[in-house]
Amino acid sequence: MLLVVDIGNTNTVLGIFDGRELIRHWRLISERHTSDELGIYLLNLISLAGVTPADISGAVLCSVVPPLDAPWEEGIRRYLSVECLKVTNRTNIGIPVLYENPSEVGADRLVNAVAGIDRFGSPLLVVDFGTAITIDAISPRGEYLGGSIAPGLVVSMEALFGKAAKLPKVSFDLPEKVIGRNTRDSMQSGFLYGFAGMVDSLVERIREEMGEEVRAIATGGQAEAVAPVSRTISSVEPWLTLEGLRLIYEMDRGEN
């Protein structure tokens, strides 16, 4: 079995693959912990999943929060007795990266590209609704081209809540109408329909630059909230990053 870890700015997503099947997954808050604390969390989680440390034969992670990397790697090494493959923007992922400075690309964006190509082929657009909303473009030849980065829903909500004293935090539930008749519905309309409109505009402009009607898929924490009101997103793949980590691990081990 393979442990996969995606360390994001807001959440850390973990999963266990048995071969090609994702059998369990968890979403944790990304916080600073010692390697011992993380090791205990891992042992408890896999125990609840009916898995023993001896069942875990490998581990792979990607991260956009460098201070959290070493504790995770050490916790995995110490408590699961496996070395963790760390995917970075310098890792050979099997596809050309045409970003002007590849060292600036978040590893999670490249991991998503690998998984997207494997599942849908190319060309492709991958929209990731995380702390930031990223849209990544993959050419018909399977090249990572780049994309766009915008503030995510939660970041925007926190900024608005912090600056507007009378506005409450709201859940990202779809309101019945775009014209909200109360503060909650008005804010939900602004966030969900507004961000869907932003994503649709970016996707349509990227398609114009690429010169073809490229499929757009979505992943990330708020993807399932926004995708239903998007005109351009064709499907939601909630575990795309975890799938990409598995594929890169197998590629690194010569299994793919």
Residues annotated as part of the active site: 108
For the chain, the distance separating the N- and C-terminal CA atoms, rounded to the nearest angstrom, is 16
Q: Which residue has the tokens 């042992």?
A: 43
Beta strands 21-29 and 58-63, pairing class: unpaired
Burial class (CB in 10 A: 0-12, 13-18, 19+), 184: middle
CA-closest candidate to residue 151, choices 249, 9, 55: 9
What is the spatial distance between Cα 193 and Cα 197, in angstroms, rounded to a whole number? 6
What is the spatial distance between Cα 57 and Cα 84, in angstroms, rounded to a whole number? 10
Question: What is the side-by-side order of every strand in the sheet holding 58-63?
Answer: 21-29, 11-18, 2-7, 58-63, 84-87
CA torsion angle for 235, 62, 56, 81 (degrees, to 10)?
Answer: -170
What is the spatial distance between Cα 158 and Cα 98, in angstroms, rounded to a whole number? 34
Greatest alpha-carbon span in the chain: 58
